[in-house]
Structure 1
Amino acid sequence: MKKYMIIAAAVVFGAALSYVLLAAGGGKALNVNEISSDPGAYAGTITVTGVMGGTSPQDPTIFGIMDIKELQCKTANCNKVFVPIKYQGKPPVMGDEIRATGKFVNMAGGYLFAAEKLKVVRNHKIGG
């Protein structure tokens, strides 16, 4: 009987530990198409995923990401939506698929995603 209680306690502890570790990992990342229509609706820290598609000529710490699904569009008339991201660390290169964690900041020209953490997932060969 005592053996079963120890096993049951170990299983409960393992499940609780797994839940805590998964929750701390940030959970599901939102994509650009989900957030671009109303970035102001996302308060607090979130994780966004997308593909780096351009940089700001005025500020090298700002770059734009597009939705991963936009990579499938091969015609000139694609209406790509970009989310501007400001990141103080090493910026990604063109075509890098990233996961950025941070929050939206309301600036004079609109919303900007201020990334605290950035991880390059892989690179998609775009832009020649």
Structure 2
Amino acid sequence: MKRYIFALAAIIITGFAFAGFSSGMAKKVQTKGVLSVNDIQADPAAYTGTVTINGVVSGFSKQDPKLFTIIDTGEAKLCKIVTCATFYLPVKYAGQAPKEGDEVNVTGSFSDKGRVFNASKVDVLRHLNLGGR
């Protein structure tokens, strides 16, 4: 009987520990309603209308110079490089493209069933001195 109680207690403690760790990285909507890349990762197509997403530019398409990817700012700062992310958000923007390593707020909407974010506005907040490829 003690063995089962010990096992149950271990499972409960593990569950609380997991919940505590994940809540620190959970969806935090930044100031002024700005979303992070990780906020939209699970289902980008669910976000309709105009939204603003914060991220770090991680690379550019060789076929289309107006297409670049952004990663979560927290992941970029933690890894100190722009190639370690678990999710890369493709952004299409007709204006002047930001540079790799720039932290940006992109404003626009999703197209192609949530696969591409069409930005109508890109604000460069700062350049992060991170490693590249």
Q: Could you state the TM-score of these two structures normalised by the residue count of structure 2? A: 0.69
Answer yes or no: is 1:89 the counterpart of 2:95.
yes
- Per-residue deviation, 1:94: 0.7
**Which residue is 1:68 aligned to?**
73
Aligned partners of 2:131 and 2:99: how far apart in 1? 11
**Structure 2: gaps (5+ residues):** 1-30
Q: 1:35 to 1:44 in 2, by over 3 A?
A: same
Aligned partners of 1:56 and 1:112: how far apart in 2? 13
Aligned residue type for 1:48: I
Q: Contact 2:53/2:106 (CA < 8 Å) preserved in 1?
A: yes
**Which residue is 2:8 aligned to?**
none
Q: Contact 2:58/2:100 (CA < 8 Å) preserved in 1?
A: yes
**Which residue is 1:98 aligned to?**
104
Greater strand content:
1
4+ aligned runs moved over 6 Å, structure 1 = none
Q: 1:44 to 1:80 in 2, by over 3 A?
A: same
**Structure 1: gaps (5+ residues):** 1-25
**Which residue is 2:117 aligned to?**
113
Aligned partners of 2:106 and 2:88: how far apart in 1? 14
Answer yes or no: is 1:35 the counterpart of 2:43.
no
Q: Contact 1:55/1:62 (CA < 8 Å) preserved in 2?
A: yes
Aligned partners of 1:112 and 1:120: how far apart in 2? 19
CA deviations on 1:20-59 (whole Å, 9 max, x unpaired) are: xxxxxx9311000000110000000000110000001110
> Sequence identity, in percent?
44
**How many residues are aligned here?**
100
- Larger-Rg structure: 1
**Which residue is 1:4 aligned to?**
none
Aligned partners of 1:74 and 1:68: how far apart in 2? 10
Q: Could you state the TM-score of these two structures normalised by the residue count of structure 1? A: 0.71
Q: Contact 1:94/1:127 (CA < 8 Å) preserved in 2?
A: no
